Amino acid sequence: MRLTVLLVLAIGVQAAGNLLLSLGMKEVAAFSTSHSVQWQSIALEVITQPANIAGALCLVAFSVLFATALSTADLSFAMPVVSIEIVVNVALAHLVLGEDVSAKRWLGVFLVAVGVTLVSLSGTQTPVTANGERER
């Protein structure tokens, strides 16, 4: 149960972080068109944009949650499971950012979801033998 909560939280904050960074960098892009030769101003805009700061903090939180999940789950399980974040991000891009998502992209998202489902049904850890070694 603890692992499930960690992974669900990790997926949520990663998706939020990516969404916030996308919003923040679109603001920076609008700013940079009027300041194209002033790279210092653009760099300052990138690091002071509130959405970028919030997005970066979310991604730091994701890293902490994911590292904690790895203390009990195999990387070969946890990494594909958090990939469901791709599905969440594409849906948010469409719903929140108004991005046009083509049928080919939705098909790719569906394939990711199928892959995540298969991995999530496989168990969270490689079995360990009686002497403490991982089975191969």
Determine the pLDDT at residue 95: 96
Q: What is the pLDDT of residue 21?
A: 95
- Cα–Cα distance between 66 and 12 in angstroms, integer? 11
Six token digits for residue 102 = 């083509």
Check if the beta carbon of residue 115 is closer than 8 Å to that of residue 86: no
Please indicate, yes or no, whether the overall pTM of this predicted structure exceeds 0.95.
no
Higher per-residue pLDDT: 120 or 7: 7
Q: For 70-93, how does the pLDDT look when each residue is reduced to its tens digit (9 = 90+)?
A: 998 889 889 989 999 999 999 999
Cα 116 from chain centroid (whole Å): 14
If 0-12 CB within 10 Å is exposed, 13-18 middle and 19+ buried, where does residue 94 land? middle
Residue indicated by tokens 């920076």: 28
Look at 7-16, 24-33, 86-95, 101-110 and tell me which has the smallest mean pLDDT.
24-33
